[in-house]
Amino acid sequence: MTKLNHNEQNNTLILELLSLLYSGDLTSGELLKTLRKELMGLSQLAFAEQVGISRRTLIALEQDKASPTLQILNAAFKPFGLKYNLVAKDDDLMHQLIQHQHTQD
C-alpha cells in the first residue's frame, strides 16, 4: 500500500478537514472523498484496490450510504494516517482527553 507523505501541507489540509468533520460541517464520506482526491489523486477504482475494498463499497462510503464495519472504515482511512474512533463532542472533554494523552506519552 502506498503511504501518504505527511508533509506540512498535507497535515494542514487533514487538520482543516477534521475540524470541519468534528464541527458537523463535513461528513465522513465527504472527508474520505476529499482526502482521496486531494492528497492521493486516485480514482475510486485505484483507491479501492489499494485499500482492499470494492469500488461499490467506496462509493457508498463517500456518499454516506454505507453501514460499514470498523475494519472497512479503518482500511479506507489508513493511507491518511487516520483511524475511525469515538470522539468526544464536548470541547472541554476533548481538550482534557488531549492533555491526558500528552501526559501519558
- Cβ atoms of 6 and 35 closer than 8 Å: no
- Cβ atoms of 36 and 18 closer than 8 Å: no
Where in the chain are the domains? 8-104
In this structure, what DSSP letter does residue 40 have? I
- pLDDT confidence of residue 6: 61
H helices present in the chain, as ranges:
8-23, 28-35, 44-51, 55-62, 70-77, 91-104
- pLDDT confidence of residue 5: 61
Secondary structure class of 26 (helix, strand, coil) = coil
Separation between Cα atoms, residue 93 and residue 65, nearest integer Å: 30
Could you tell me the three cell numbers for 16? 482543516
pLDDT means per 10 residues, the chain with 105 residues, are: 69 92 92 97 98 97 95 96 83 80 76
pTM of this prediction exceeds 0.85: no
Burial of 28 (0-12, 13-18, 19+ CB in 10 A): middle
Given the candidates 1.10.260.40, 1.20.120.1200, 3.90.1150.10, 1.10.287.1040, the CATH classification of the domain at 8-104 is: 1.10.260.40
- pLDDT confidence of residue 74: 96
